[in-house]
Amino acid sequence: MEQPIIRMRGIFKRFYIGQPNELEILHGIDLDVMPGEFLSIVGPSGSGKSTLMNLIGVLDRPTQGSYVLDGINVSQARDDRLSAIRNKSIGFVFQNFNLIARTNARKNVELPMMYAGVPAARRTARAKELLEMVGMADRMDHQPSELSGGQKQRVAIARAMANDPAILLADEPTGALDSATGRMVMDLFHRFNRERGKTIVLITHNRELALETDRFVTMRDGRLYVGDSGEEVRYGDR
C-alpha cells in the first residue's frame, strides 16, 4: 500500500511557551498528502496557513506532534539533516518571488544546486533547461529588476525545480500577479504535476484556485477541515 509523502499527526504549534502570553496557533493538525497529489490548503489571513506551511517546508519545528516527510521523521531530525531536506526534497515558490537582486535569472536558478554541490557545468545546463521549460530562455541573463512579476515567478518556479525535489510548496504564488499571469503560473504547476509527477501543496486564500487541484482542505482558526465541510480532518492512527 502506497504511503503518504507527507504524514502529520497531532501537530501543535505554540509560541511564548510557558509565558503568560503563550499563544497556540495550530491545534492538533492531521494531514496526509500522497505522492503525485496536487493539494490546496485554502483559508483567510490569520487562519494559520503560513505557520503550517513553515512546518511542512521544514522551516520550523512543531511544538508537539509527529511529521514524517518522504519516510523521514523530521520532528526528530537534526538541524543539518533538516537543511539538506529543505535543499533537496522541497522546492519553494513564494508570493514575493525571493530572487537574489543583481544576480541574473540563470544564476538564481543555479543557487540551490550550488548549495547541493552540483558541478558548475551541470548546474548551468540544468538551469538553462529549466528556464526554457518555463518559457524564460530568452531572459536568462536578465536581473530580477529587468523582469515583470510573471517573469520573476517563472524564474522562481524554475529555481524550485532545480534539485528535482519530491515536493513543490507554493505559498500564494499568484497573489502578486494579474489574472492572466496567474493563469500562466497555475498552468505551469499543473504541467509539473501531470508530466513530472510532482507532489504540489498550494497555500492560497483563493477558493477558485483550490477547486482546480485534486483535493483541498480549508483552514480555520488553526484547524483543518475537509473541503468546505465542517468536518475536521482527523485520522484514527495518531
Helical H segments across 25-104, by residue range: 49-56, 79-88
Which pLDDT value is given to residue 132? 96
Task: Identify the band that residue 21 occupies on the pLDDT scale cut at 50, 70 and 90.
Answer: confident
Which pLDDT value is given to residue 4? 96
Cβ atoms of residues 49 and 43 within 8 Å: yes
Give the contacts of 176 (CB within 8 A, at least 6 positions apart). Answer: 95, 96, 97, 149, 153
pLDDT, mean over the chain: 93
Does pLDDT of 238 surpass 60? no
Does pLDDT of 222 surpass 80? yes
Does pLDDT of 189 surpass 90? yes
pTM of the model: 0.93
Residue 70: strand, helix, or coil: coil
Which pLDDT value is given to residue 87? 86
User: Greater confidence, 176 or 159?
Assistant: 159
Buried b / exposed e over 62-99, threshold 16 CB at 10 Å, is beebbbbbbebebbebeeeebebbbbbbbbbbbbebeb
The amino acid at residue 174 is T
Distance of CA 117 to the CA centre of its chain: 22
Model confidence pLDDT, tens digit, residues 86-117: 888 999 999 889 999 999 999 999 999 999 99
Model confidence pLDDT, tens digit, residues 39-65: 999 999 889 999 999 999 999 999 999
Does pLDDT of 237 surpass 90? no
Does pLDDT of 127 surpass 60? yes
Which pLDDT value is given to residue 228? 86
User: Beta strand pairing status for 167-171 and 6-15?
Assistant: unpaired
Cα–Cα distance, 177 to 199 (Å, whole number): 23
Which pLDDT value is given to residue 176? 85
